[in-house]
Every structure is written in C-alpha cells, then in structure tokens.
Amino acid sequence: MAAWTQSVAKDGLQPAILWSSVEAWGELAGGVLLVLGFLTPFAASFIVGDMLVAILKVHAARGLWSQTGGYEYNLVLIGLMLALGLMGPGLYALDGRLRFRLARPAVFAVALAATLAGVAFLLLGITIG
C-alpha cells in the first residue's frame, strides 16, 4: 500500500493516502460487488470514475493504444460499466433478491453523477479535511 500511495502522490493526487485508499479498496469492493451482482449501479459507477481518473492522470499522455500504455482498455471498461449500470446485472444477481427494486437507470444516473462529482474534486485538487 505504501508503494501505491507513492505512485498516487507522483501522479499529483493529494492527499495521496486518502485517494490511494479510496482507489484500492473501492476497486476491490467494486469488483466483488459486480461479481455478486449486488448494488450493481453503485459498483459500475465507481469503476467508471476510477477508469476516468486513470485515463486523465496516467494514460492520456501515452495515446489511445494499450500497447504504448494508452487508455484503450480503460475506455472498454467504461463502456462495459455504462452498459451494465443501465441494463442491470442479470437474472442470478443478488440485486434481484433485495426486498426493494433498484430503478436501474435512475439509480445508476444518480450514482454516476455523484461519482463524477468526486472525480471533479479529485482532478481539481480540492482537498478534503
């Protein structure tokens, strides 16, 4: 985690300890939630935000193609998460077992808006705390 925090600091994201923790734990939790199909709109929106930050802070300067360290793969993940967030996780997902129904497009739109606001805070360098 210390090496990851240093990498985040090198990319200019401050406070680095906060953003490295948010990214590492959020990406792990987002992936687990997506596999389980649980709270899918929130997990998909977080992954969209994570990939957007990766593009803008790391990969954009290297061009489009992944072979040169570019953002091609990140764009694919964003497209997949947008589709999953809008369509929903599927028949066997845990979301279908909830006592309440997530209005997928509406909940995903709100979650995505909140995530994009967080990305804006991060990229504009607005500090928290």
- DSSP assignment string, 26-54: HHHHHHHHHHHTSSHHHHHHHHHHHHHHH
Neighbouring CB atoms inside 10 A of 121's CB total 13
Contact between 36 and 72 under an 8 Å Cβ cutoff? The reply is: no
Contact between 101 and 89 under an 8 Å Cβ cutoff? The reply is: no
pLDDT band at 18 (very low <50, low <70, confident <90, very high): confident
Q: Tell me: the pLDDT tens digits for 43-64?
A: 999 999 999 988 988 888 888 9
Give the three-class secondary structure for 68. helix
Contact between 37 and 89 under an 8 Å Cβ cutoff? The reply is: yes
Q: Tell me: the pLDDT tens digits for 96-117?
A: 888 777 777 899 999 999 999 9
| pTM of the model as a whole | 0.84
Residues whose CB is less than 8 angstroms from the CB of residue 125 and which lie 6 or more positions away in sequence, other chains included:
12, 14
